[in-house]
Amino acid sequence: MHIDVVTLFPSMVDAPLSESIVGRARSSGLLALGFSNPRDFGEDRHRTVDDKPYGGGTGMLLMAEPVYKALKEVKKKGSFVILLTPKGRKFDQPMASGLAKKKHLIFICGHYEGIDERVNDLADLEMSIGDYVLTGGEPAAVVVIDAVTRLLPGVLKKEDATVNETFSMGLLEAPHYTRPGVWRKKKVPEALMSGNHKLISKWRHDAALALTGKKRPDLLKRLQR
């Protein structure tokens, strides 16, 4: 997969995605990550990319033209463009699965107070990672790219690692345990140590239902619709 990020601060995305699983995916060629900086397309000698909003208000807005030119530099036929904004559709696991099937993703990261509204028409999807406001779209881009990359074929050593995890089946994932069998007087559930795959499977299903009901009852309500 190829992903480009339109951002004023490439290192905010590049650095955290150079480590661990995503870093290995990049090194092995499973993920190509590029950047396009709107500041490179500023039209004055200061390469200005922001200005005061019409109608007044606090903060500065990214101007449409530098963002447009930065996007144009990397966009090609078949590209899927995502504008990261608190006003967008909330990101979830099914969305990650859908994006993992795309060949080329482009993320537009706002900064300051956001981007001129007219840029929205350039995106195929407006996306948010939650009901809160960040200093810019870069941390959100890292989150989404990480979630998408781990779903790409070959990225995880075990191909079925993403099948029964949290949210993939609409439930929270059942609890996991490792050695020792008893830790500070807390025991691993006997079913997991039984070696009986049918019993283990049932325990995990029941535990996932119980955990979801306790921590995320809203997910159970969705399944019951």
pLDDT digits (tens, 9 = 90+) for 31-60: 999 999 999 999 888 899 999 999 998 899
Tokens representing residue 56 in the block:
């007044």
Indicate the residue among 123, 149, 175 that finishes a domain.
Answer: 149
Same domain, 119 and 179: no
Identify the CATH number of the domain in which residue 206 sits: 1.10.1270.20
Same domain, 32 and 133: yes
Same domain, 180 and 108: no
Same domain, 210 and 132: no
pLDDT tens digit string along 94-107?
999 999 999 999 99
Mean pLDDT of 112-135: 95
Q: For CA atoms 61, 64, 70, 74, give the dihedral sign.
A: positive
Identify the CATH number of the domain in which residue 83 sits: 3.40.1280.10
What is the reported pLDDT for 100? 98
What is the reported pLDDT for 90? 97
Portion of the chain with pLDDT greater than 90, in percent? 85
pLDDT tens digit string along 157-198?
876 556 555 665 789 999 999 999 999 999 999 999 999 999
Same domain, 210 and 106: no
What is the reported pLDDT for 45? 87
What is the reported pLDDT for 205? 94
Domain-located, residue 24: yes
Distance in angstroms between the alpha carbons of the first and the last residue of the chain: 35
Same domain, 64 and 14: yes
Mean pLDDT of 197-225: 92
Q: Which among 50, 114, 70, 60 has a CA at the least distance from the CA of 88?
A: 114
Specify the number of domains making up the chain: 2
Same domain, 30 and 141: yes
Indicate the residue among 149, 175, 199 that finishes a domain.
Answer: 149
Domain region containing 178: 164-225
Q: Please check the confidence at residue 200 and state whether its pLDDT lies above 60.
A: yes
Domain-located, residue 159: no
Same domain, 101 and 182: no
Domain-located, residue 65: yes
Same domain, 130 and 181: no
Is 101 exposed, middle or buried, given 0-12, 13-18 or 19+ CB atoms closer than 10 A?
A: exposed
The least confident of 3-7, 78-82, 166-170 is 166-170
Same domain, 114 and 20: yes
| pLDDT, averaged across the chain | 94
Q: Please check the confidence at residue 225 and state whether its pLDDT lies above 80.
A: no
Same domain, 103 and 174: no
